[in-house]
Structure 1
């Protein structure tokens, strides 16, 4: 394989070839004192899948990811990555992670950082290749300390690619990137997944999960509450959402409308989730000064809120 070929080809061979299971977890339980962070999680991820791992803060996502990375041991249950223990998979370079913070020395250049990281492995992809894959060849000689947040995230991505991992775990991978940066980043991820790389990513950007994930796994209160394609997840919550402009809207009065199941008010715009959108729309148009009324199907954000019961999620408004 030439140095310019996608690294996932080698990762696929080392992890067992296409069609194999990347992650297999059964009955995972993890507690911290009296707090049970993970409560019987079962999760299977096939090689080459791009899986969005979603949930509000405290849902158990980070603890589950820590167990996949071998950073935490389950109190009960078992977990395998490419048929190995997480620690064994890591020692063979089959897992890499891109985290939000840490891991960078600001006085080194981008290229020096990659050389230092590569020295930790017995075999790595060429540095020029991972620079190109991460889209940072043009800043290879720039000091890390003067790189933007988005550029530093791309450097972390390049570092993760060095060992040619079969499984790539991303924690808020596009934080600090502009719109074009996010798009090109996900294009690179999709190209790798098409050649066998498995990607598990946690994000608060629900639009990224909607657009780029093959599958969504949604956690709440330590359990997986939904698992499927975006369309399947959206179909779990029946009904529609009625949007309208209503100055001075009273959330209590709106919640009392027959058929209203959930109400949100942002400035003059209101959103009412309901199984009877015709009835709610009729009330708004005849009994209130509402205008600019729209009726839409459930989106991922409304499903997220309905399934997690969380009204204060950290979600992107972009």
Structure 2
């Protein structure tokens, strides 16, 4: 498919070849075992959040998908071919958090310079508009905010009309409206068949925009599913109540209370038996305005990727 032929969702979903495939991938750096038998398959047209704590192997894995390094063992393929071949064909683009910009050039000059490196690209005006920076063409890159520079990197990545777009902290520096507009553009791209893989520390973005969330810990996949499925892996729920002057020792004595947090006149009690906790609060304490809520993605992230997590293998 050339850059002048728009892809469609039907074409993407009908493709039998995974956008990204990692099978039994290991990566060693001397004595450091950064990736440990990682298996992952991403289908065309998916938006996948690739998450994990620092040192989990995310960057190492992305580097192998981008052809910047090779696995010590196992296989990595992008659209059925070697990552470097996919890159050379313009099938893959990446938006990284830092680097790659010359501050003395204007925004438009930067994009046109990048376009000159490809045999066939989307029109410069089109990608600037797509990235939401059409009105910044004459501005020096050095005068752009962090969020505007991220949008510039996005425009540069769109030039080759890639089938796979990899984003590293894509909305860093953007304001709320900018982040919303950015993700609207990403969703439109995915609906047309483009595959998007992104890493972010904004877990609410992964929760809101990803079709699928992959959590990695110590070089292994520990959770893989929709946001709802991943959140369900963190056992228990939280009881929130209005309880002025609550005594922490008294709260910890509540049967089934796993963890306690006091925030002013409110208490939050996590438990695998929130019905029992709520019953105790209502009948034996002056607590009022009780609310029982499921754990969020942040809770699941901490539970599944922390050092004391017992989860070691893939979960789906």
Question: Which of residues 167, 170, 185 in structure 2 aligns to 1:170?
Answer: 167
Structure 1 residue 267 displacement after superposition: 5.8
Task: Output the CA distance in 1 between the equivalents of 2:133 and 2:218.
Answer: 39
Task: Output the CA distance in 2 between the equivalents of 1:22 and 1:38.
Answer: 20
Matched with 1:224 is 221
CA RMSD of aligned residues (A): 2.9
SS at match of 1:21: coil
Matched with 2:144 is 147
| 1:104 and 2:101 matched | yes
Residues 261 and 146 of structure 1, relative CA distance in 2, 3 Å threshold: same
Contact persistence 1:30–1:75 (CA under 8 A) = yes
| 1:194 and 2:158 matched | no
Matched with 1:316 is none
Residues 88 and 262 of structure 1, relative CA distance in 2, 3 Å threshold: farther
Task: Output the CA distance in 2 between the equivalents of 1:66 and 1:264.
Answer: 40
TM-score by length of 1: 0.87
Deviations 1:248-304 (A, max 9, x none): 767676555421234445566543321111222344456666555321112212211
Matched with 2:7 is 9
Matched with 1:65 is 62
Matched with 1:315 is none
SS at match of 1:89: helix
Deviations 1:97-134 (A, max 9, x none): 11111111111100000011111111111100100110
Structure 1 residue 164 displacement after superposition: 1.1
Contact persistence 2:13–2:193 (CA under 8 A) = no
Task: Output the CA distance in 2 between the equivalents of 1:251 and 1:77.
Answer: 51
Q: How does 1:25-40 map to 2 (within 5 A)?
A: 25-40=22-37
Matched with 1:23 is 20
Which stretches in structure 2 are left out of the alignment for 5+ residues? 309-316
Deviates more, 1:254-263 or 1:192-201: 254-263
Matched with 2:313 is none
Aligned length: 308
Which stretches in structure 1 are left out of the alignment for 5+ residues? 312-318
Question: Which of residues 95, 99, 102 in structure 1 aligns to 2:92?
Answer: 95
TM-score by length of 2: 0.88
| 1:235 and 2:232 matched | yes
